[in-house]
Structure 1
Amino acid sequence: MGQTSSQSAQQSRSPSQAACPIDHKAAAACPVPHDPTPKLAQCPMDHESIDARNQMPRLSQEAAPSQAAALPTSRTISSIPRDPATKWEYPSPQQFYNALARKGRETPEELEHVETMVEIHNFLNEQAWLEVLKWEKRAYPADDIQLARFKGRPGELSPKARFWMLAGWLMPSRFNTEPPFDRHDWVVRRPQTGEEVRYVIDYYSAPPEPDGSPVFSLDVRPALDSVGSIKERIAVATEDVWAGLRESSKAADQTRRQT
């Protein structure tokens, strides 16, 4: 859903694509790993250590013991509603760096790029929310949905991601073999009906722009754990098939007219 141009592997996965918001012509290097080898990278945020009051990681704003330079402690407010009155806040660069330190990744290079990493982290989650909204509009026309809670599941492949990796292993010339570098499960609340809907989000690195700037591919869809979500997934898949057939028919008609 929300697909843009991509290579055939990404087209089969029907993701949405988002160019990196960072100006890589000015940056020294992109801090997000784009290693084409099929290994799982992990989001540095410790999503298992969660504050039950706000579903955010319990991370200090104090500088790490080995930290050589100060980092901002301000947090960006997202566009994602948590309840009728508040929105979710993203971690500050200092909290993000502390998450890296908890995983033993607090290097001078990481310190240099941590603010850029936070920008990319926030940008990707904003794009994921836009994709969730597209799905929600199909089944719930009101505009008051909220992100009730979420869980990062880095290193844990979704069934769909496993399927595409198997397809890539069987037909590497057609399908991508690179696994997602992160996975989130988001639970959306529909206030007017009281329903909660779980979404699965796989975060991929897509083929870069011609100038080398990275592109990210998000595969956002409702989890197959309710009748309503199953119906929506089938409806969207069917629409995509019919749209492809219509485009093929138009192309064939145009070719016949030209000949």
Structure 2
Amino acid sequence: MPPPNQVPAPDQPFPLSVVREESTIPRFNNENNWVYPSEQMFWNAMLRKGWRWREDDLTPPDMSNIIKIHNSNNEQAWQEILKWEALHAGLSPAAPTLKRFGGKAQEYSPRARLRHWMGYELPFDRHDWIIDRCGKEVRYVIDYYDGDVDQDTYRFSIPDVRPAFDSLGAVWDRMKVAWWRWTS
């Protein structure tokens, strides 16, 4: 019997794949990488969050594309985190790993609220990712903004990735990067 999150919902209009894809994101305290949700897992998770699928008129190919976009967005966010982590490459013998993450779609970051106050759109989603940097937990804030869909890579969002303002080290990293961007 499949796990509960892989079982079709009672009123689901069509079958969905239960195949999961491995990411390139290393998992903390594990030799394996994180594994992305299947189409069925994603569908069930969206239902738990109150999604009304009948209003969206989805087809099986739509769900396949949604999963590709989801996975691509996460890979892109991880690459942005690695750019920030490069500031600490010489200090840590081990590469960073992702410990845990959480979606906070309704909790806008201070930066997102400031941008909105200046006339920009709010992000459609926010995640906080906790990474392990050689035994130290570091939190990253990721605001996802709408962009055009790239048919080759399935990227459609513009992630704004940065260390959270919750430690002096993170503040220093953000100040260094801001200075480099301003002076280059």
Indicate the TM-score class for this superposition, using the shorter chain for normalisation.
0.7 to 0.9
Percent identical across equivalent pairs? 42
Partner secondary structure for residue 6 of structure 2: coil
**In the aligned structure 2, how far is the partner of 1:137 from the partner of 1:119?**
27
* Native 8 Å contact 2:6 2:18 kept in 1: yes
Distance (whole Å) between structure 1 residues aligned to residue 132 and residue 97 of structure 2:
5
Partner of 2:63 in structure 1?
114
The answer to whether the Cα contact below 8 Å between 2:127 and 2:142 also exists between their aligned partners in 1 is yes
8 A Cα contact 2:99 2:131, kept in partner: yes
C-alpha contact (below 8 Å) 1:59/1:99 kept by paired residues = no
- Where does residue 27 of structure 2 map in the other structure? 82
User: Equivalent residue for 1:230?
Assistant: 171
Q: What is residue 183 of structure 2 aligned with on the other side?
A: 242
Deviation, 1:110, is: 2.8
| Pair 1:178 & 2:178 matched | no
Greater C-alpha Rg: 1
Structure number with greater CO (CA < 8 Å, separation at least 6) is 1
The residue that corresponds to 1:174 in the other structure is none
Rounded Cα–Cα distance in structure 1 between residues aligned with 2:10 and 2:95:
43
**Structure 1 residue corresponding to 2:139, chosen from 182, 198, 202:** 198
Aligned counterparts of 2:4 and 2:139: Cα–Cα separation in 1: 26
TM-score, normalised via structure 1 length: 0.62
Q: 1: CA distance between counterparts of 2:33 and 2:157? A: 24
User: CA separation in 2, counterparts of 1:214 and 1:222?
Assistant: 22
- State the match for 1:67 in structure 2: 12
Q: Secondary structure in 2 aligned to 1:63? A: coil
> Which of structure 1's runs of 4+ aligned residues deviate more than 4 A?
none
User: Quick one: structure 1 residues 184 and 119, their matched pair in 2 at CA, closer, same or farther if it must change by over 3 Å?
Assistant: same
In the alignment, does 2:48 pair up with 1:105? no
For structure 2, which runs of at least 5 residues remain unmatched after alignment?
A: none
Count of residue pairs brought into register by the alignment: 173
RMSD: 2.1
Q: Distance in 2 between matches of 1:208 and 1:119?
A: 11
The aligned counterpart of 2:130 is 187
Instruction: State the alpha-carbon separation in 1 of the partners of residues 149 and 18 from structure 2.
Output: 31
Q: CA deviation at 1:143?
A: 5.0
SS of the equivalent of 1:230 reads helix
TM-score, normalisation: structure 2: 0.86
1:204 is displaced (CA, Å) by: 0.2
